[in-house]
A and B are shown apart, each in its own frame.
Chain A
Amino acid sequence: MGAMFTDLANFITGGSGVNILYFMVVLPAVLAVLTVIIPRDSFIARSICFLAAALADLILAIALFIDKEGSMLLSWTDFEINLAFRVDDFSSAIVLALAIFAVLVGIYSVSFLRKKEKYGQFYCYYLLTLAMANGAVLADNLVVLLFFWEGLMVTLFGMLVIGDRQKPATAMKALVLNGIADLLLMLGVAATAAQAGTFMMAGVSQLPIEGLGILGFVCMMAGAVGKAGSMPFHSWIPDAAEVAPLPFMAILPAAFEKILGIYLLVRITFDFYQMVPGSVMSIVVMAIGAITIVLAVCMALIQKDIKRLLSYHAISQVGYMILGIGTALPVGIIGGLFHMINHVMYKCCLFLTAGSVEKQTGTTDLRKISGLGKLMPITTVCFLVAAFSISGVPPFNGFFSKELVFDAAWESGMVFYIAAVLGAFLTAASFLKLGHAAYFGPLHLPEGVKAEDVKEAPGAMLLPMGILALGCLVFGLFNRLPLSVIQPIIGEGYDFSGWPHSITLVAISCVVLLLAVGNHIFGYRRTGEGLKAVDHIHYAPVLRSIYNCAEKRYFDPYDIIMVLIKGFAWVCFGIDRAINWVYDVLMVNFIGGLSSGMRLLNNGSVDRYMVWSFVGIGFIALLCLFFV
């Protein structure tokens, strides 16, 4: 008992083995609880607590990033399930990235959520998300990784529920899809640990992908790409865009989930397991990436709502990262990671611009708004920078990372390269449409909103946007800066900074961009509206019916899974009812029948009893004769 309480005390205070890594997790979590304890009316106190937590996390993360080493271990349960954390080059960079985005989106959230209900809960979930994301990245034990990873589901559910309690379907969808991915991860962790013989990550290194390893690799990968929002675990994201508070979209699907998913994918493919270029697994991963790129961007192209459009791009872009990492080539992995960080910057920025528009006009429906450029110039500039980045226009950051992925795809198989280039074309086309429709063209506002009321967003919202937009430019022009952090992760002696090496590929990319512009002009001339610039693709003969089905959600993996599971459930229910029938009907009738049969024999008639007696005596006599 004594030891129990010592352990407990150690656990709460941190005890002897505690260091900065512990506080990366505990501090945001504790402050998260504090934000909801502080009385509801004191918006300022809550917000200060919230921002202080994010800032403290940033300071700790910077300290870790400078140190780049350290580990800690607290005993948790047996079977080597220890609360173990460790930091290295890779995880320190990831934690820093998480912290930076947490602060930027945090500042934005405070401004965005002012005067909104349930902002306190949002703060709480936000900080808990940060704590658990830190824990997942720093974990040095597979079960601890799983613990924090799955724990993110709770805050995800919470944030979606506070978005709209009346329509909980999206929260359920998100939790089911994430739950499937995370339970697969659980199986993967078990299989990987069985293969390695330990839960401690130090012992899980460069396992061959064979036997249980195949199960471990595939299931862990499913967990990783599921978190990143790749197909087929993606379909909750566009739905969430409609109900969840906007900062949620910027921080989770656009930033944290990408960072975490790609972090784990890289860990699995090059640390835990040994994925070889050209192997079956490599092709599987690349195929997931390529399919995700193309299908999601096709859906993005036809969206009429800014948030939905952006969320489809958030899915599509993750395909590039998965494709790059799936090639298992150094250029691909570095490209994938670089693209991840770039994506988080420009996608975060894009969501924040959408938030500004929503805050000012009350909607993000492109059919109701256009020509906001003059009213919201800074937002427009930020949007343009981020849109150039995502479309891969040189010299913005997206261009450089995409080129690296193109390079790797080109070497790994023409079909993957074509998918990537097709994705780039459609991405550019859809952003031309979005930018044109929302910010240019004639001014058009929803009913009841006057042009005088639509102002530029407040400073606290502009600041994060501006920083992110600036970052897009800096990471493009001075790409040596991020790459010098990313390259050492996979080994010494790689240098992909500076201008892309392959002139052919750059030329192809530029041609593709020009084609996209040409396509836009063609579409615009045809319809006379920016919003309808891609209608000739949307309503092309075969595509029209496919799009029609997609819009009706015939292809939504969630709906398909739910139909299958409902079918399964009805079969189970039938089996259960059949068993119950045996108890409630068959047995009752059988016993009832038996007893009424017996009753017929015993009807109280003396004659009949006499007959029975004689028959019985005769029977016994026969038996005696027979045996004696």
Chain B
Amino acid sequence: MEGQGLLLACILTPLAGAFLLPLFGKIHAGMRNILSLLFVLTAFLCSAMLLNSALADEPVSVYWQLPLGLSIGFLADGLAVFMAVTSSLVASIIVFYSFGYIEQYKNQNEYYMMVTLFIGAMMGLVFSTNLICIYMFWEISAICCWRLIGFYREEPVVRRANKAFMVTVGGALLMLVGFIAIYGETGTFDLLQMQGETIANWAMVLILFGILSKSATLPLHTWLPDAGVAPSPVTSLLHAAVLVKIGVYVFARLFLVNFQLDAIWETVVPWIAAVSALVSAGAALVENDIKRIIAYSTISQLAFILLGLSTGTMIGVAGGLLYILMHSLAKGGLFLCAGIVEHSTHTKDIRQMGGLAKCLPVTAVAFLLCAFSVMGIPPFGGFFAKFMVIDSALVGGSAWLAGTYIFGAVLTVIYLLRLFVKVFLGETTHKDLKEGSWEMVSSVAILGVLSLLGGIFINIPTQLTSFIVENLGRW
């Protein structure tokens, strides 16, 4: 019972608490901010406390039967807890960062409400064992992201928010048709009741549309770079903690834990992802907007995650999961750094920046640490994830596939390095810039350090990932 309380607290605190925030905001802004952080931290702590039972293979679950064969079910198994801990950890840091960043803008009540709701939806989604629940939380996240991308309310910004909303919701509707198709075959939406079933390829295609649109994979990706118009903590949230990870998480939940897939997908998905990885990496090398570059980098890195999850090898799945964690930490850090840079230089164009390391030393170092992690350079966390994923491409796919991804990794090194060098090194363009507020700077420092520690102490996250992989029952 205690475990069930934790599980419900983990989901409901941010979900319900979000709606209280505007009320508190009317009373006192500082209190609202602290409460928002508290709600998200509660989600983090509760999910961390669920680790024990998940690792002991006694997952906590909650289940209510509803009429018409419907049900609501939450299950805190290894995969769910891993994802919940990862995203709530990064989300907590992002909320903390927001204290400094968002201070000067209007609509803060809505901001904190949407961010908290967003994280609540994420928590609900990862623990859900019911396709309809998954769909609902999926759409709540789409609504939050629509409001948050359009935070600045200018016409072009709103247009891009609409675009993001329509692409992801369009994908989600197709996915819903896929879910209904599964219902038609099995007579239930409850995942636990259809463990190990094989699903039809056309249903798989429909669901894949939903996943790829949310996880911004070619050709459903262009909304993600456009979403860079949002405030930086929001982009960070979208890229690192919640939104795009939803797609890959649902991929893992449905196609690794639950359903059997046709073997053809073990070739098709990695290659779709490969094209996505290369095209977006190439685009990142041409772009000049700091946030768009990092956004394209997310698209490219998501392809590596999908690769790991889809090659059908143990090392690939473990690598893919580690990749989710390491990418969340590092990419969150990169966007938050970009936010500091944007705040102090008032531009996003990297051609107008240079030598910022002199004025923004902490940001520069944190950016570099996170960038190294994304590049997959040891001793940073990204290294192991990248190596495992590449190894799985070779073992589960072919030398060509692995070679393609190695090329993608080379491009990653080049575009991130180009970004760092242009922004932080070279001739100084701005004089007397101020470092961000202490909340902002300490947030990026924490993420940078975590990216480093994640690599050296890789044994800690691996305990969980290897547990998940071994319990998939596929090997």
Contacts and interface: CB of A to CB of B under 8 A. Distances in A.
Contact of A77 (B279, B377, B384, B394): B384
Interface in B437-475: 457-460, 462-463, 466
Contacts of A81: 384
A1 B56 CA distance: 10
A529 B109 CA distance: 79
A23 interface: no
Given A180-B410, A565-B285, A11 B318 contact: no
Contact of A146 (B387, B413, B414): B387
B286 A569 contact: yes
Contacts of B426: 165-168
Interface string B395-415: 100010011001001110110
Nearest to A193: B391
Interface in B276-322: 278-283, 285-287, 296, 314-315, 318
A555 interface: no
Nearest to B402: A187
B406 A575 contact: no
Nearest to A144: B378
Contacts of B459: 7-8, 11, 75-77
Interface in A129-176: 143, 146-148, 150-151, 153-154, 161, 165-169, 171-172, 175-176
Given A77-B458, A165-B357, A167-B426, A573 B51 contact: no
Interface stretch (B12-20, B90-98, B417-425): B417-425
Interface in A189-240: 189-191, 193-194, 212, 215
Interface of A: 1, 3-4, 7-8, 11, 75-79, 81, 143, 146-148, 150-151, 153-154, 161, 165-169, 171-172, 175-176, 179-180, 183-184, 186-187, 189-191, 193-194, 212, 215, 562, 565-566, 568-573, 575-576, 579-580, 582-584
B165 to A, nearest CB: 13
B57 interface: no
Nearest to B470: A78
Interface in B51-95: 51-52, 55
B285 to A, nearest CB: 4
Contact of A184 (B358, B394, B406, B425): B406
B179 interface: no
B406 A179 contact: no
Interface in B114-172: 163, 167
B281 A153 contact: no
B155 to A, nearest CB: 14
Interface in B236-288: 278-283, 285-287
28 contacts: A3-B463, A77-B318, A79-B315, A79-B388, A147-B383, A154-B377, A154-B379, A161-B425, A165-B357, A165-B426, A167-B426, A168-B425, A172-B421, A176-B417, A179-B375, A183-B409, A183-B410, A186-B386, A190-B394, A190-B395, A194-B394, A212-B399, A566-B285, A568-B282, A569-B282, A569-B285, A576-B279, A583-B163
Contacts of B296: 576
B417 A175 contact: yes
Nearest to B426: A168
Contacts of A78: 318, 462, 466
Interface of B: 51-52, 55, 163, 167, 218-219, 221-223, 278-283, 285-287, 296, 314-315, 318, 355, 357-358, 372, 375, 377-379, 383-384, 386-388, 390-391, 394-395, 399, 402-403, 406, 409-411, 413-414, 417-418, 421, 425-427, 457-460, 462-463, 466
A533 to B, nearest CB: 39
Contact of A573 (B286, B314, B372, B425): B286
A150 B372 CA distance: 11
Contacts of B427: 166
Contacts of A580: 222
Contacts of B280: 572, 576
A191 to B, nearest CB: 6
Contacts of B390: 186-187, 190
B458 A76 contact: yes
B292 to A, nearest CB: 10
Given A1-B55, A151-B377, A167-B426, 7 more contacts: A1-B51, A77-B458, A78-B466, A172-B417, A186-B409, A187-B403, A191-B399
A190 B387 contact: yes
Contacts of A147: 378-379, 383
Given A4-B463, A143-B387, A161-B425, A179 B413 contact: yes
Nearest to B464: A4
Residue of B285, B318, B399, B459 with most chain A CB atoms under a 10 A cut-off: B459
A295 B432 CA distance: 48
Nearest to A582: B219
A164 B411 CA distance: 25
Nearest to B372: A154
Contact of A7 (B221, B384, B425, B460): B460
Residue of A168, A565, A579 with most chain B CB atoms under a 10 A cut-off: A168
B167 A583 contact: yes
A215 B394 CA distance: 11
B399 to A, nearest CB: 5
Contact of B222 (A3, A562, A568, A576): A576
A569 B407 CA distance: 12
A175 B413 contact: yes
B382 to A, nearest CB: 11
A4 B55 CA distance: 11
A570 B421 contact: no
A80 B425 CA distance: 40
Contacts of A165: 355, 357-358, 425-426
Residue of A77, A172, A575, A583 with most chain B CB atoms under a 10 A cut-off: A77
Contact of B410 (A3, A179, A573, A583): A179
Given A212-B399, A571-B282, A190 B391 contact: yes
Nearest to B463: A4
Given A76-B458, A166-B426, A183 B406 contact: yes
A569 B285 CA distance: 6
Nearest to A580: B222
A194 B357 CA distance: 43
Contact of A579 (B218, B383, B406): B218
Contacts of A572: 278-283, 285-286
B288 to A, nearest CB: 11
Residue of A183, A193, A579 with most chain B CB atoms under a 10 A cut-off: A183
Contacts of B410: 179-180, 183
Contacts of B395: 190, 194
Nearest to B49: A1
A489 B86 CA distance: 48
A11 B456 CA distance: 10
B414 A565 contact: yes
Contacts of B222: 576, 579-580, 583-584
A385 B378 CA distance: 40
B217 to A, nearest CB: 12
A233 B159 CA distance: 47
Contacts of A1: 51-52, 55
Residue of A147, A165, A184, A576 with most chain B CB atoms under a 10 A cut-off: A576
Contact of B283 (A3, A11, A212, A576): A576
B421 A168 contact: yes
B363 to A, nearest CB: 15
A3 B466 CA distance: 14
Given A78-B466, A190-B394, A572-B279, A176 B421 contact: no
B285 A151 contact: no
Contacts of B463: 3-4, 7
A240 to B, nearest CB: 15
Contacts of B167: 583
A571 B417 CA distance: 20
A312 to B, nearest CB: 25
B111 to A, nearest CB: 27
A77 B459 CA distance: 5
